[in-house]
A and B are shown apart, each in its own frame.
Chain A
Amino acid sequence: MNAPAYNFAYLNEQTKRMIRRAILKAIAIPGYQAPFASREMPMPYGWGTGGVQVTASVLTPEDTLKVIDQGADDTTNAVSIRKFFVKTAGVATTEKTEEASVIQTRHRIPETPLTEDQILVFQVPIPEPLRFLEPRETETRTMHALEEYGVMHVKLYEDIAQYGEIATTYAYPARVAERYVFDPSPIPKFDNPKLDGCPALQLFGAGREKRIYAVPPYTRVKSLDFEDHPFEVQRWDQSCALCGTRESFLDEIVMDDHGTRMFVCSDTDFCAKTRGER
């Protein structure tokens, strides 16, 4: 038990140094997709290998880690990543947002406001927001370099033409520090305003695509929109059936075979806190 089977947080120091360099570059150029030599991790792509490598590179023994998936701490994905870091880094873990110093997430930003003492690490499947209209990597790089972002609005135009409103609800593109357009990973657009001016450092890791990007603390993040179709977040008629809040992102849950439905907070920790049950 005393002889560690792994280097602290699994990755060797040289790999961490390489990844930290990419992270520093990403912080220096907010929203820019810095390439890095993504390593094989002991979990399949799609399980957050990019986020795991970023977390492994920023983690220190004093850190307290929280891992969420779809807002919950107890999904298979969140549990296995948390276990991985307990085993390889021996760090403390928590489900309480305000107690965590590093939070790795897929699909959500916690409802509890983050602070300067925290780092939020996103697992990203597809980092390139221009990809759906431009498959060529050389061309998307040029488009970023020359700030040719007109095609992003083509996508939003299509939404309005087809659905009468901007129907994109996840991975809603935004512009970071009035320069790079980026994909905030598959978070709901409900969470986009939380990216803007956030006191915490936000890091994004894409393992398969070998990219890291960042939103440094207190950085302007503006969701793309049209003057006559301004950006809006999702709203619900209901309040959370468990805690009664009207301020959080709600998931619809089917309760039984009769199709009884219930709306509850997707952020389980926030819901428990609001109920006073923790």
Chain B
Amino acid sequence: MSPLLAVDNLSKLYGARVGCREVSFALWPGEVLAIAGESGSGKTTLLRCLSGHVPASSGKVHYTLRDGRSVALDEMSEAERRLLMRTDWGFVHQDARDGLRMGVSAGANVGERMMAVGERHYGRIRATATDWLKRVEIAEDRIDDSPWSYSGGMRQRLQIARNLVTSPRLVFMDEPTGGLDVSVQARLLDLIRGLVKRLDLAAIVVTHDLAVARLLSSRMMVMQQGQVIEEGLTDQILEDPQAPYTQLLVSSVLQV
């Protein structure tokens, strides 16, 4: 088996400023990796490079397609990359407004990816959207409502449904529970964990919240000043952090 995503010496510089530096790792099918760090640590920059939203300054990212071919992201045509993004990949933004089409109904939000890959049967789109709303615990009778009428937690769940409808194999998540109430966060994390397991999804979750990393990921990387300073199994890192910075993070956050 080859890794789903193979990252080799990836760096992103903004002029003299370092976004992230010399990051290498492999992500395996079905694996959930958390990238933890404080704001400014480079974790979001790394996520944006990995997901093809911004070009890296140097280094390579290889992705293994469904047919087994390995492709370098920077060597794909824009058309191929965009197709990948709306079929085999998902991206869950921290602010659901960035990931949803706020001007159209919830059903249209879920159905859009189906239409983007050529589905032209309204009844089938509708049935699939209904099914997906149920799977993210949104009442069926809210299907024609605008996301503006949804709560923060519902919007986030809608965003997840919108991404998963094409059965992607890899989902990028940028602080998926950020900005939500604690009780809402817990429910959302449970939902994400359940979906990821059931669908055998691989995911890369960027978070400043080690509790999120603990609940969702099997493996994690800790970033500081653009570099990965510690990497390993999530449970091990949280129980026995090696780097002083990680020790500080763990002791300050996980006491709750």
The finding on whether chains A and B are genuine partners in a shared complex, rather than unrelated, reads: yes
Are A226 and B121 touching (Cβ within 8 A)?
Answer: yes
Which of the residues B78, B79, B115, B117 comes within 8 Å of A154, measured between beta carbons? Answer: B115
Nearest CB of chain B from residue A158's CB, rounded to whole Å: 5
Rounded to whole angstroms, the CA-CA distance of A226 and B105 in the bound complex is 18
Asked whether A133 lies within 8 Å of B144 as measured between CB atoms, the reply is no
Query: When chains A and B are docked, how far (Å) is the Cα of A65 from the Cα of B113?
Result: 47
What residues on A are CB-neighbors of B104 within 8 Å? 133, 154-155, 158
A residues 126-147 in Cβ contact with B at 8 Å: 133, 142, 146
C-alpha gap A260/B151 in the complex (Å) = 49
Interface size classification for chain B: 20 to 34
Binary per-residue interface labels of chain A (148-160) against chain B in the complex, 1 for a CB within 8 Å, 0 otherwise: 1011011101101
A157 adjacent to B103 (CB under 8 Å): no
Contacting pair B105 A150 (CB below 8 A): no
Asked if A161 and B120 sit within 8 Å, CB to CB, the answer is: no
Interface membership of chain B positions 107-122, coded 1 if the CB is closer than 8 angstroms to chain A and 0 otherwise: 1100111011100111
B122 touches A154 (CB 8 A): no
Tell me which residues across on chain B come within 8 A of A158, comparing CB atoms.
Answer: 104-105, 108
Q: For the complex, what is the distance from the CA of A154 to the CA of B107, rounded to whole Å?
A: 10
Q: Is residue A237 contacting chain B, with contact meaning CB distance below 8 A?
A: no
Query: What does DSSP make chain B's interface, helix, strand, loop or mixed?
Result: helix
Q: Is the CB of B121 within 8 A of A150?
A: no
A229 within 8 A of B: yes
> In the complex, which residues 141-169 of chain B have their Cβ closer than 8 Å to any Cβ of chain A?
143-144
- Report if B101 contacts A (CB, 8 A): yes
Report if A14 contacts B (CB, 8 A): no
Q: Kindly state whether residue B20 has any CB partner on chain A within 8 Å.
A: no
| Partner among A155, A157, A226, A229 whose Cβ is within 8 Å of the Cβ of B107 | A157
Q: Are A146 and B120 in touch, CB under 8 angstroms?
A: no
Residue of B with least CB distance to A142: B78
Beyond A148-B116, A227-B122, A228-B121: 6 further Cβ-contacts under 8 Å?
Answer: A133-B101, A142-B78, A150-B112, A153-B115, A153-B120, A227-B121
A226–B144 contact, CB under 8 A? no
Q: Which of B79, B82, B107, B120 counts the most A-chain CB atoms under 10 A from its CB?
A: B120
A151 to B125, CA, bound (A): 14
A residues less than 8 Å from B125 (CB atoms)? 157
CA of A10 to CA of B60 in the docked complex: distance in angstroms? 58
Contact of B123 with A228 in the complex, beta carbons under 8 Å = yes
Q: Are B82 and A154 in contact (CB under 8 A)?
A: no
- Given the complex, which residues of A lie within 8 Å of B144, measured CB to CB? 161-162
Q: Which of B78, B82, B113, B115 sits near A157, CB closer than 8 Å?
A: B115
CA distance A227 to B121 in the complex (A): 5
Q: How far is the CA of A109 from the CA of B78 in the complex (A)?
A: 39
Q: Give the top 10 A-B pairs by smallest Cβ distance, nearest first.
A: A150-B116, A153-B115, A150-B115, A226-B122, A227-B121, A146-B79, A154-B108, A157-B108, A161-B144, A228-B123
Partner of A227, one of B79, B82, B116, B120: B120
| Chain B residues packing against A (C-beta within 8 Å) | 78-79, 82, 101, 103-105, 107-108, 111-113, 115-117, 120-123, 125-126, 143-144
Please, how many angstroms separate the alpha-carbon atoms of A227 and B114 in the complex?
Answer: 14
- How far apart are the CA atoms of A151 and B165 in the complex, in Å? 16
A156, closest chain B residue (CB): B122
**Which of A133, A148, A160, A226 meets B120, CB within 8 Å?**
A226
Instruction: List 26 A-B pairs, Cβ < 8 Å.
Output: A133-B104, A146-B79, A146-B82, A148-B116, A150-B113, A150-B117, A151-B112, A151-B115, A153-B115, A153-B120, A154-B101, A154-B108, A155-B104, A157-B107, A157-B111, A157-B125, A161-B105, A161-B107, A161-B143, A162-B144, A226-B121, A226-B122, A227-B121, A227-B122, A228-B121, A228-B122
User: In whole Å, how far is B81's beta carbon from the nearest beta carbon of chain A?
Assistant: 10
Report whether A154 and B112 are in contact in the complex, using a CB–CB cutoff of 8 Å: yes
| Interface pair A229/B122, CB less than 8 Å apart | yes
A160–B122 contact, CB under 8 A?
A: yes
Once the chains are docked, how many angstroms separate the CA of A155 from the CA of B107?
A: 12
How far, in whole Å, are A225 and B104 apart by their CA atoms in the complex? 18
Cross-chain contact of B78 among A146, A150, A162, A227 (Cβ < 8 A)? A146
Which residues in A have their C-beta under 8 angstroms from that of B121?
226-228
In Å, the complex CA distance between A157 and B101 comes to 14
Task: Report B142 CB to chain A, min CB distance, Å.
Answer: 12
Q: Which residues from chain B contact A225 at a C-beta distance below 8 Å?
A: 120
Given contacts A142-B78, A227-B120, contact A133 B103 (CB under 8 A): yes
Contact yes or no, B82 A148, CB < 8 A: yes
